[in-house]
Amino acid sequence: MRDLFTAPGRFYRGNLHTHSNLSDGILDPQKVCRRYKAEGYDFIALTDHFIGEYGYTITDTKSFRDEGFSTILGTEVHSGAMTNGELWHILAVGLPEDFAPSNTPGFSPIDDQESGAALARRCRDAGAFVAIAHPQWSGLTMEDARTNDAAHAVEIYNHGCAMGCDRPDGWHIADLLLSEGPKLTAIATDDAHFTEPDHFGGWVMVKASDNAPESLLDALKAGHFYSSTGPELRDIELDDDVLEIRCSAATAVIVQGFGSAAVAKHGHSMTHAAISLDRFKNSDWLRVTVVDAAGKRAWSNPIWR
């Protein structure tokens, strides 16, 4: 994890889950990109729904790139039923434009289509950064989640789901998966459709050598990022007994691990916390949450010991 803060390059702010009027959003792709650029984002992935109803669209945003703003081509793919009978939702960021469509005419599963896990594997094999989208909103079970062995990440905060149905969380599923061994990362996103205040609320901060799509995609796959709804993470350093965290002004710094293991330090405008790891002797992994005075959060990726 320390490589994130000591490696060369800089942090780029980006949203990895966005929709336009080429699927079920209301703004055209150019306006979506313009809005994010104006808000100070360095890049987005415009991930329209990859289903037959919308022409299996991988929205072409290449013409909206400039020296200070980049885009990564991507989509939200769907195929197969979860335990609750609803369709899988999987982010595929960096998917090539000639990716072969699944047999997914609409937003309902049909007989004789590939499973969500098989589709996720095809996306990863094609070069995409793959993430399980909004597990709380989807009603994803652990049995479902275990089948998706191709995911790089879990969407642990979805701002659209926070605003629209108060189901934004993915950490419960992510923590359980981490405790079973998969070395997953964690992304915060908007899932913006611009039909409600679902935009500019969750993002990733990616450390890369430059803002080119290929550099950003490589950094995402390497786990060189953290997620936020506001605060900044500035350094995390691990030794055998203590985890040291430096951040923007915070009221709480929390370290979580296997099972119920967690330690929190509270204060006013804290920018540094040293957390003893005595409670984490049975945990192969740790993660950090920083909370500011407004209740906004930043999350590290899991740190493997």
Question: Per-residue pLDDT tens for 171-211?
Answer: 999 999 999 999 999 999 999 999 999 999 999 999 999 99
CATH code at position 162: 3.20.20.140
Distance CA 302, CA 172 (A): 13
Last residue within a domain, chosen from 228, 245, 264: 228
Measured CA to CA, the distance from residue 72 to residue 197 in angstroms comes to 23
Among the three residues 228, 256, 274, which one is the final residue of a domain in this structure?
228
Both 200 and 240 in one domain: the answer is no
What tokens appear for 3 in the block? 């490589």
Domain shared by 190 and 280, yes or no: no
pLDDT reported for residue 1: 59
- Over residues 207-222, the mean pLDDT reads 97
Looking at the fold, whether 209 and 250 belong to one and the same domain comes out as: no
Residue range 3-9: mean pLDDT, rounded? 89
DSSP E strand boundaries for 87-160: 90-93, 129-132, 153-158
N- to C-terminal Cα separation, the chain:
10
156 and 51, same structural domain? yes
- 244: domain range? 233-304
pLDDT score for 281: 94
In this predicted model, what pLDDT tens digit does every residue of 95-132 receive, in sequence order?
A: 999 999 999 999 999 999 999 999 999 999 999 999 99
Same domain, 156 and 246: no
Q: How far apart are CA 183 and CA 284, in angstroms?
A: 11
pTM attached to this predicted model: 0.97
